[in-house]
Amino acid sequence: QVQLVESGGGLVQAGGSLRLSCVASGRTFSRGAMGWFRQAPGQEREFVSAISYSGYVTNGADSVKGRFAISRDNAKNTVYLQMNSLKPEDTAVYYCAADQSTVWYKPDYWGQGTQVTVSS
Protein backbone atom coordinates (compact mmCIF):
# COMPACT_ATOMS: atom_id res chain seq x y z
CA GLN A 1 0.00 0.00 0.00
CA VAL A 2 1.13 3.56 -0.71
CA GLN A 3 0.47 6.47 1.59
CA LEU A 4 0.54 10.07 0.44
CA VAL A 5 0.61 12.86 2.99
CA GLU A 6 0.17 16.47 1.89
CA SER A 7 1.16 19.56 3.81
CA GLY A 8 1.59 23.27 3.25
CA GLY A 9 -1.97 24.39 2.67
CA GLY A 10 -3.51 27.32 4.46
CA LEU A 11 -4.97 30.78 4.14
CA VAL A 12 -3.19 33.34 2.01
CA GLN A 13 -4.05 36.70 0.53
CA ALA A 14 -4.43 37.15 -3.20
CA GLY A 15 -1.06 37.64 -4.81
CA GLY A 16 0.68 35.54 -2.21
CA SER A 17 2.48 32.23 -2.47
CA LEU A 18 2.31 28.79 -0.94
CA ARG A 19 4.32 25.64 -1.40
CA LEU A 20 2.58 22.31 -1.03
CA SER A 21 4.49 19.16 -0.23
CA CYS A 22 3.52 15.53 -0.52
CA VAL A 23 5.51 12.67 0.89
CA ALA A 24 5.01 9.18 -0.47
CA SER A 25 5.68 6.08 1.58
CA GLY A 26 5.08 2.39 1.21
CA ARG A 27 7.30 -0.40 0.09
CA THR A 28 5.45 -0.86 -3.21
CA PHE A 29 6.15 2.67 -4.37
CA SER A 30 9.65 3.70 -5.26
CA ARG A 31 9.93 5.30 -8.69
CA GLY A 32 6.43 6.41 -9.52
CA ALA A 33 5.22 9.57 -11.16
CA MET A 34 3.43 12.04 -8.91
CA GLY A 35 0.96 14.81 -9.47
CA TRP A 36 -1.46 17.35 -8.09
CA PHE A 37 -5.19 17.79 -8.53
CA ARG A 38 -7.57 20.26 -6.98
CA GLN A 39 -11.25 20.39 -6.27
CA ALA A 40 -13.21 23.53 -5.51
CA PRO A 41 -16.62 23.36 -3.82
CA GLY A 42 -19.29 22.18 -6.20
CA GLN A 43 -16.80 21.47 -8.97
CA GLU A 44 -15.15 18.39 -10.40
CA ARG A 45 -11.64 17.44 -9.47
CA GLU A 46 -9.20 19.17 -11.82
CA PHE A 47 -5.78 17.99 -12.92
CA VAL A 48 -3.12 20.59 -12.13
CA SER A 49 0.23 19.05 -13.01
CA ALA A 50 2.30 15.88 -12.80
CA ILE A 51 5.94 14.94 -12.91
CA SER A 52 7.60 11.72 -13.91
CA TYR A 53 10.34 10.07 -11.90
CA SER A 54 12.92 11.56 -14.28
CA GLY A 55 11.43 15.03 -14.01
CA TYR A 56 9.28 15.30 -17.12
CA VAL A 57 6.36 17.62 -16.41
CA THR A 58 2.84 17.17 -17.67
CA ASN A 59 0.76 20.31 -17.30
CA GLY A 60 -2.95 20.40 -16.75
CA ALA A 61 -5.11 23.41 -16.01
CA ASP A 62 -4.39 26.40 -18.26
CA SER A 63 -5.44 28.69 -15.44
CA VAL A 64 -2.29 27.92 -13.42
CA LYS A 65 0.31 28.04 -16.19
CA GLY A 66 3.07 30.46 -15.42
CA ARG A 67 2.04 30.63 -11.76
CA PHE A 68 2.35 27.07 -10.45
CA ALA A 69 5.40 24.83 -10.74
CA ILE A 70 5.77 21.19 -9.82
CA SER A 71 9.03 19.62 -8.73
CA ARG A 72 10.21 16.56 -6.85
CA ASP A 73 12.99 15.27 -4.67
CA ASN A 74 13.41 11.59 -5.37
CA ALA A 75 15.70 11.05 -2.42
CA LYS A 76 12.86 12.18 -0.16
CA ASN A 77 9.98 10.63 -2.15
CA THR A 78 8.46 14.09 -2.11
CA VAL A 79 6.67 16.18 -4.71
CA TYR A 80 6.14 19.92 -4.39
CA LEU A 81 3.75 22.41 -5.88
CA GLN A 82 4.99 25.98 -5.76
CA MET A 83 2.03 28.30 -6.16
CA ASN A 84 2.68 31.96 -6.86
CA SER A 85 0.42 34.92 -7.64
CA LEU A 86 -2.47 33.13 -6.03
CA LYS A 87 -6.00 34.16 -6.89
CA PRO A 88 -9.28 33.62 -5.03
CA GLU A 89 -10.30 31.16 -7.75
CA ASP A 90 -7.37 28.96 -6.73
CA THR A 91 -9.24 28.19 -3.53
CA ALA A 92 -9.72 24.42 -3.39
CA VAL A 93 -8.69 21.24 -1.71
CA TYR A 94 -5.43 20.16 -3.30
CA TYR A 95 -4.80 16.46 -3.64
CA CYS A 96 -1.54 14.68 -4.21
CA ALA A 97 -1.65 11.62 -6.46
CA ALA A 98 0.79 8.93 -7.41
CA ASP A 99 1.11 6.63 -10.38
CA GLN A 100 2.92 3.33 -10.05
CA SER A 101 4.45 3.95 -13.45
CA THR A 102 7.58 6.07 -13.74
CA VAL A 103 5.76 8.29 -16.25
CA TRP A 104 2.41 9.87 -15.63
CA TYR A 105 -0.64 8.07 -16.95
CA LYS A 106 -3.26 8.10 -14.23
CA PRO A 107 -3.47 8.28 -10.47
CA ASP A 108 -3.27 4.97 -8.67
CA TYR A 109 -3.14 6.47 -5.19
CA TRP A 110 -4.51 9.60 -3.55
CA GLY A 111 -3.66 11.70 -0.55
CA GLN A 112 -6.32 13.06 1.77
CA GLY A 113 -5.97 16.60 0.52
CA THR A 114 -4.92 19.93 1.93
CA GLN A 115 -7.07 23.05 1.92
CA VAL A 116 -5.86 26.17 0.18
CA THR A 117 -7.89 29.31 0.70
CA VAL A 118 -7.04 32.54 -1.09
CA SER A 119 -8.71 35.67 0.22
CA SER A 120 -9.36 38.72 -1.92
Q: What tens digit of pLDDT does each residue of 21-67 get?
A: 999 998 666 789 999 999 999 999 999 999 999 999 999 989 999 99
Look at residue 26 in the predicted model and tell me its pLDDT.
Answer: 86
Choice between 103 and 37, residue whose per-residue pLDDT is larger: 37
> Integer distance in angstroms from the first to the last C-alpha of the chain?
40
Look at residue 28 in the predicted model and tell me its pLDDT.
Answer: 67
Mean pLDDT value across residues 8-13: 98
Residue 90's SS3 state is: helix
Look at residue 110 in the predicted model and tell me its pLDDT.
Answer: 97
Across the chain, the runs of DSSP E, i.e. the strands, are 3-7, 10-13, 18-25, 33-39, 46-51, 57-59, 68-73, 78-83, 92-99, 109-110, 114-119
Distance (Å) of CA 57 to CA 31, 87, 91 = 15, 23, 23
Look at residue 119 in the predicted model and tell me its pLDDT.
Answer: 97
Look at residue 94 in the predicted model and tell me its pLDDT.
Answer: 98
